[in-house]
Amino acid sequence: MTRLNLRGFEIHKGFLSPERQRALVQVLRPVLQAAPLFSPDVPGGGQMSVRMTAAGGYGWFSDKSGYRYIDAHPSGRAWPAIPAEVLGIWETLSGSDRAPECCLFNYYGEGAKMGLHQDKDEADFSYPVVSISLGDDGLLRIGGTSRREKTESIWLNSGDVVVMGGEARLAYHGVDRIRFKSSRLLPKGGRVNLTLRVVT
DNA sequence: AAGTAACC
DNA sequence: CAGG
């Protein structure tokens, strides 16, 4: 376990043991059953290559009209509860007095990526975003609070946890690519990223 | 606008 | 051609 700081991003390499990673995969199965993955449309046309769902009171959503949090899966069913094992990671690393209201579940299949963006659909940026990587390696790109600022990249591996707080809370970030089937955690391959947020 | 593509 |  080593901790790195890259432009305010607190990166806990190897935070989750392989056993803890496997336990997380197990508790996430019923979440996916209750709330199947979908690929949101984005304003201006186009569709994300990442497939996503969520747990908690709110899930992030996007369509032609914009980005927002919604209180139920697009199917109309309530989002499932955030598993206790996930809440425990937030409690250890967030330094927050509030529980997360959203556990966004992003699945990167072969070739999936996510463009540079800010997490700014939440009401209070004083709470950090905690990001958990499981499965295949992903290349995280980190910038500043303006699109013009230089960026730098770091490979995230299964079990790494990143805390985006303080100056990093509104920093641009994205995932340029994954190394498909670089990990054996997920039998079908791919990368799962969980992000915990206080929304309201 | 978390999309793509053009362009440098 | 890869990266920004």
DSSP A13-42: ET-S-HHHHHHHHHHHHHHHHHS--B--B-
Q: From CA A136, how far away is CA A117, in angstroms rounded?
A: 21
A85 — phi, psi (to 5°)? -60, -30
Q: Which tens digit of pLDDT belongs to each residue from A144-172?
A: 998 888 899 999 999 999 999 999 999 99
| CA of residue A150 to C1' of nucleotide C4, angstroms | 9
Q: A129 is written with which tokens?
A: 């975003």
pLDDT in tens, A20-69: 999 999 999 999 999 999 999 999 889 999 999 999 999 999 999 999 99
Cα torsion angle, A173, A66, A104, A50, sign: negative
Q: Give chain A's domains with CATH numbers.
A: 2-197 (2.60.120.590)
Q: What is the pLDDT of residue A22?
A: 98
- The average pLDDT across A7-19 equals 97
Cα gap A64→A34, rounded to integer Å:
25
* Mean pLDDT of the A189-199 span: 97
Give nucleotides in strand C with any atom < 7 A to a protein C-beta. Answer: 4
DSSP 3-state of A118 = coil
Question: Which residues of A contribute to the annotated binding site for substrate?
Answer: 60, 67-69, 121, 147
A64 Cβ contacts chain B strand, under 7 Å: no
Rounded CA–C1' distance between A102 and B5, in angstroms: 33
Does any strand C atom come closer than 7 Å to the Cβ of A155? no
Q: Which nucleotides of B are covered by protein (CB under 7 A)?
A: 1-4
CB atoms under 10 Å from CB of A175, counted, come to 22
Closest CA to A83 of A140, A24, A139: A24
Across the beta sheet with A152-156, the strand order is: A114-117, A173-179, A137-142, A152-156
Measured CA to CA, the distance from residue A9 to residue A120 in angstroms comes to 16
Q: Which 113-152 positions of A have CB less than 7 A from strand C?
A: 150-151
- Nucleotide showing the shortest C1' distance to residue A113 CA: B2
Nearest nucleotide over every DNA/RNA strand to the A175 CA, judged by C1': B2
> For residue A3, what are its two tokens?
């901790």
Q: What is the pLDDT of residue A148?
A: 86
